[in-house]
Structure 1
Amino acid sequence: MGTVRDDDRVRRLGGWLLAGLTLVLFGTVPLSLSGGVMSRPNVVSPGPDWWAGLIVACFALSGAALIQLRPGNWIGWILVASGLLQVTNVALDAYATRALTDPDHSLPLGLAAAWFASWTWIPSLLLPVIVLPPLYPTGRPASIFWSWHLRVALVGIGLIVLAAATGQGGVDDTVRGTRLPWDAPAWWAWIVGLSAAGLLISTAAVTMVGTLVRAIRAKSPERQQLLWLLSVVAAMMATVFTDYRVLFAVAYGLVPVAVTIGVLRYRLLGIEVALRRTLLYVPLTLLVALVIGGLTTALARLVPEGPLPLLAASAVVAVLVIPVAARLRPLVDRLVLGDRADPLALVDRVGAGLEVEHDDPVASMLEAVASAVGTSYAVVRDLHGRLVAEVGSSEGAGLDVPLRHRGAQLGTLTVGPRRGATQVTEQDARLVTALAPHLAVVFRSARLAEELAVERTRVTAATLAERDRLRRDLHDGLGPSLAGIALGLQAAGTAHRTRPDAVPDLLERTRAEAELAVGEIRRVLDGLRPTSLDLHGLEGAVRDTASSLGMGQPGGLAFDLQTDALPLLSPRVEEAAFRIVAESLTNVARHSAASHCTVRLNRSNGDLRVRVFDDGCGLAAGVGSGHGLDSMRQRAADIGGEVCVELAKPRGTLVTAVLPLEAP
């Protein structure tokens, strides 16, 4: 780690030193040209313009700033190298002009300076145009194809520099009559020059077309970065062929600044807005210029005088521009914004995910929402703050959107900014708000599915337990009784033939056995699991029982049920708790003369605690048992629990049952 930091520190220092050297070299130009050097005989160049310093400063300072913030990105070094080569050309050309025209020839290396100045400008222009775009914005080639493309481009640049450096070329562009001490053969210039031209033209075309294709295929934010680069390069190219050299200087000087902005902060200064307007209005401007120029030229031959050609061309433009702009605007928005250009299409695409089955629908839908918004981070939490689903990793300031369904809040959706941004934009916030209801539906459906699965498990367990109990009761109780009746009837039939006087006794014992069987059947029926438990669970069954006793009804006894989040109860515990509460509520309704009754169900120390208390007259003196109270105690004891009945304070009765959550 220490070595990497040291290397980065050296790179940063090197970048600023090169930028400082560039500015110092440009500062030598006024010294070289002082004293009227440009007015000396044989000097044919008007000299460097002031805007050359603007270009040099933009390249040097932008490159050094990029190296400072991204030491491992080669783009910063390309910008610094381009600025250094440009200033080398300008500074050496100025020095060569003074040295070669000085009457006493006191300055050395004038011819060498003119030779260097004759070719150093070439790589300074070609590096940003051909080499930089394949490396933009990460500083690395996007694929193996671009790696080989860069090698070919560098070979082409090297050949064109070699051709310029070995020929007489532009060595006499500033001082007439300047010649190198050698003459390259004609075939050399043709072979090297044509090879270099072929390589440079082909690589330049591939760079421009390939960068445009990359921009079309790329996703945000790389698409915006590439389109930003293409826009500033197009603006520079559009000013190359104009007579306004200052305009070209400004456009060319903005290239390194725009490249640095695109690498570091592609959203800075509303780049997307500038891109959309540039790509929309530049073609429209060219269209207007071509139409007006072409029509006025053609109509001027028919009507040489008068304003008719211009008026006719203006009318055609007015009719043509609006429909062209209407068709061009969606294309530009689609190119710059990608899928975000049509938010309704994103909503439809995310909504289509509702029709597909997933193992985890919330996580799958959250991933679809994150993909549609282009966010780097998205998470869903329930009302208690528990994590439900998560996509990506957090970076930057997030946006919280509540998830609501049918008026109830289910949880919160939190989304982070797009990759490379520091906060969620207003457009993305509106898109997330539009997609949140779809996610809320999936969230609610998943919760209902989980609740249904838990309820199905509970009902199935209760049904199986009830079936086992019925089997035991019928086998152990009713079965022997019916068998005894059958044997009694058989004995009575035999006695009828052999001992008629014994028949009445046998029939009497059989009748008694039948009454026992009827009693056993009633016991079995009384012990059946209440249907309301299977339909509504413990809480719903208690409410139904209270309602059936008139509690909680207008003009009746007030009723309040307080319950915590209970775990899944075993069928025996659930039924015992319900029977105890039902018996207690019946006693309250019949004997207490109370005005209010409260039932509390909560979990305490691994037990289910049931409390029923009222504000009635309380227990009568000496009343501590009865069939109902004994039944409650027996039900609790059967599963290892206990029931306590006592006077409540300040008045009324309190029934407390402590039941183990796991019945033995």
Structure 2
Amino acid sequence: MQMRWIAWDTTILVIAYAIHVVGVSAFSQTGWFWIVFTGWGLVLNSFAIVGGLTILRYRLYDIDVVIHRSLLYATLVAIIAVLYLAMIVMIDVGAQRLNAGDPDPWLASLVVALAIALLAQPLRARVEEVLRRRLYGPLNGQREILGRLGLRLEAAIAPSDVLNDVTRSIMDVLRLPHAAVAMLMNGSLDLVAESGTPGAIQFGIPMVYQHERIGELRVTPRGPGDGFSPGDQELLESVARQTAVAAYAMRVSGDLQLARERLVTAREEERRRLRRDLHDGLGAPLAGLTIQSGVIKRLVRSEPVRAEAELDHLQEELRSAIADIRRLVHGLRPPALDEFGLVTALRSRLLAFESKGDGFSTELVATGDDHTLPAAVEVAIYRITEEALTNISRHAAARSATVVLDIAVAVRLEITDDGRGIAPESRVGVGVQSMRERTEELGGTYEIGTRDSAGTRIVVTIPLPNPDIA
């Protein structure tokens, strides 16, 4: 259908000129011939020219590919013809100067043909590179695309807008039918931005940021059988490197939004838990104690012995309520952290695990100052250690565990045991997921694996804020 547009437009143009020429020849003796035929010719010519401009303007057909190939082969034929004639003349002139007589035409043609065969491929590559620059833009196309990318990074509300603009810019500057950006998500490449219509053949340029593969920039060649010149490849690689920054920002933005949603959900779940614990754990017992105190008040004078017994029972109920309050407070933040510091609180918790009497032993090795740690870091380290020791005592069948805490520019926590280790087919449990989330919430890293000898090894690293930065 696209080819018919060009054929139809060309046919009208040829017919218009033919009618114009024939009319001028047949009626050239009349006095008004030039008005009719000139007007008719201009109308038809204008229609054809406007149609041609419309096709080029709206890219109804990839005419630039046709022009590129036509110019390429026409230029090659012209250059080869000139080289052929020049070499023949040079051989003839050289033979005459050496008084060797006229050279054998067949031998001269064979020598020239071999020379041209050797020069054909390098010559074709050079001519094609020059034509590409002329037709598809000079090397400042790279500066144009990167300039647009920089402006979009400054003004864009969402990183996805930047990626869409990059694909459109690549299509416009390099005159490609399709460009897309795919990001690496959950081990597979997913399209996040696309412009144009993809072709049967696509080229992928890796997008890497800080030695990490972010995704892939995909482009479709201009036509079937077409490729990309070294200059185009260099341009696309440079654009891919810059696009990786925007893609990384988009991924981080998505992770941040997901983290915010999880934080809000966790906060609401914590509020619900506190409400339930306060209502069920303290509300009902305190209401019962209020009623019980009223009963004791009435029994003090009439039945003092029974009143004394009720007071003993009331005292037990109060101790239980106090224990519930302490449990709730411990759930919010362990009091030992504020009273003794992180290291002493950990040592006390390790002793609690040893006191269960099943032969399980622990060791704590701590270095650094724990008095200046942020409160969030203290709670995270304490809870992670507590969760890890709980998992070891329940599932590892270990006889001992070692906790190494190093406080410097970052807090590094390493927990090892001599148990059975982690089975390859085991699934990530709630406890492991909780430890990972606590670490990542503070910008840290969490690693878990089986030791070379035996048992499990957990390494947590949480960065600390720089005190020199105001």
TM-score when normalising by structure 2 = 0.52
Q: Which amino acid aligns with 1:388?
A: L
CA distance in 1, matches of 2:189, 2:248: 15
SS in 2 for 1:491: helix
Partner of residue 350, structure 1: 149
CA RMSD of aligned residues (A): 5.6
Query: Is residue 22 of structure 2 the alignment partner of residue 161 of structure 1?
Result: yes
Contact 2:399 2:418 in 1 (8 A): no
**Partner-residue secondary structure (3-state), 1:415:** strand
Pairing 1:597–2:417 present: yes
* Distance change (3 Å), C-alpha of 1:496 and 1:342: same
Tell me what 2:254 maps to.
450
Residues 504 and 479 of structure 1: is their aligned pair in 2 closer, same or farther, counting only changes over 3 Å?
A: same
Cα distance between partner residues in 2 of 1:461 and 1:160: 82
1:292-331 aligned within 5 A: none
- Aligned residue in 1 for 2:168: 368
Q: How does 1:59-70 map to 2 (within 5 A)?
A: none
What CA distance in whole angstroms lies between the structure 2 residues aligned with 1:223 and 1:208? 17
5+ residue gaps, structure 1: 1-69, 75-134, 167-184, 231-266, 277-332, 531-544, 555-575, 612-647, 655-664
The 3 A distance-change label for structure 1 pair 604 and 478 is farther
For residues 475 and 222 of structure 1, the distance between their equivalents in structure 2, rounded to whole angstroms, comes to 77
Quote the residue 1:515 is aligned against: 319
Q: 2:182 pairs with 380, 387, 391, which one?
A: 380
**Which amino acid is 1:592 matched to?**
S
Cα deviations by residue, 1:4-35 (Å, 9 ceiling, x for unpaired): xxxxxxxxxxxxxxxxxxxxxxxxxxxxxxxx
Determine the structure 2 residue equivalent to 1:126: none
Q: Percent identity?
A: 19
Measure how far apart 1:520 and its partner are: 2.4
Q: Does 1:139 align with 2:1?
A: no
- 1:455–1:598 CA distance, 2 compared to 1 (3 A): farther
Structure 1 stretch displaced more, 350-359 or 481-490: 350-359
- The answer to whether the 8 Å contact 1:156/1:195 transfers is no
Could you report, residue by residue, the CA deviation over 1:228-254 in whole angstroms, capped at 9, with x for unpaired residues? Answer: 999xxxxxxxxxxxxxxxxxxxxxxxx
Report matched runs for 1:47-446 at 5 Å.
138-141=6-9, 150=12, 154-155=15-16, 157-164=18-25, 166=26, 187-188=29-30, 190-192=31-33, 195-196=36-37, 199-200=40-41, 222=63, 270=127, 273=130, 336-337=135-136, 341-354=140-153, 355-357=155-157, 360-361=160-161, 364-365=164-165, 367-371=167-171, 372-377=173-178, 378-382=180-184, 384-389=187-192, 391=194, 392-396=197-201, 398=203, 400-419=204-223, 422-446=226-250
- 3-state DSSP of counterpart to 2:215: strand
Please give the per-residue CA displacement for 1:506-558, whole angstroms capped at 9, x wherever unaligned.
4333222211211222344455699xxxxxxxxxxxxxx99xx877989xxxx
The SS at the match of 1:139 is helix
SS for the counterpart of 2:260 is helix
CA distance change for structure 1 residues 464 and 582 in 2, over 3 Å: closer, same or farther?
A: farther
Q: 1:423: how far off?
A: 0.6
Please report how far the alpha carbon of residue 196 of structure 1 lies from its aligned counterpart in structure 2 after TM superposition.
Answer: 3.6
AA in 1 matched with 2:130: V
Residues 1:469 and 1:224: Cα distance change in structure 2 (over 3 Å): closer
User: Match of 2:227, SS?
Assistant: coil
C-alpha distance in 1 between matches for 2:165 and 2:253: 16
Residues 163 and 247 in structure 2, CA contact (< 8 A), matched pair in contact too: no
Deviations along 1:164-201, one digit per CA (max 9) or x if unpaired, are 3x5xxxxxxxxxxxxxxxxxx9844x444664456557
The amino acid that maps onto 1:441 is: V
**How much does 1:161 deviate?**
1.9
- Equivalent residue of 1:432, what SS? helix
In structure 1, the residue corresponding to 2:7 is in which secondary structure? coil
Distance between the aligned counterparts of 2:453 and 2:55, measured in 1?
83
The residue that corresponds to 1:51 in the other structure is none
Aligned: 1:479 with 2:271: no
Residue from 379, 390, 408 that aligns with 1:583: 390
Q: Which has the higher strand share?
A: 2
1:468 to 272, 282, 295: 272
Structure 2: runs of 5+ lacking an equivalent: 72-123, 335-348, 351-361, 368-382, 404-415, 433-449, 457-470
CA deviation vs aligned residue, 1:137-166 (integer Å, no higher than 9, x gap): x3243xxxx99xx37x735522532553x5
Q: Which amino acid aligns with 1:364?
A: N
**Residues 311-341 of structure 1, C-alpha deviations (whole Å, 9 max, x = no match):** xxxxxxxxxxxxxxxxxxxxxx6xx545875
Q: Secondary structure at the match of 1:270?
A: helix
Letter matched to residue 387 of structure 1: D
* Structure 2 match to 1:47: none
Residue 422 of structure 1: CA displacement?
0.8
Change (3 A) 1:593 1:270: closer
Contact 1:339 1:346 (C-alpha < 8 Å) held by counterparts: no
Aligned residues of 1:379 and 1:390 also touching (Cα < 8 A): yes
Residues 593 and 451 of structure 1: is their aligned pair in 2 closer, same or farther, counting only changes over 3 Å? closer
8 Å Cα contact 1:395/1:422 also seen in 2:
no
CA positional deviation for 1:604 = 5.6
Aligned residues: 332
1:465-493 deviation digits (Å, cap 9, x = unpaired): 33333333333332232223323433343
Q: Check 1:552–1:419 CA distance in 2 against 1; reply closer, same or farther (3 A cut).
A: farther
Contact 1:417 1:423 in 2 (8 A): yes
Change (3 A) 1:410 1:139: same
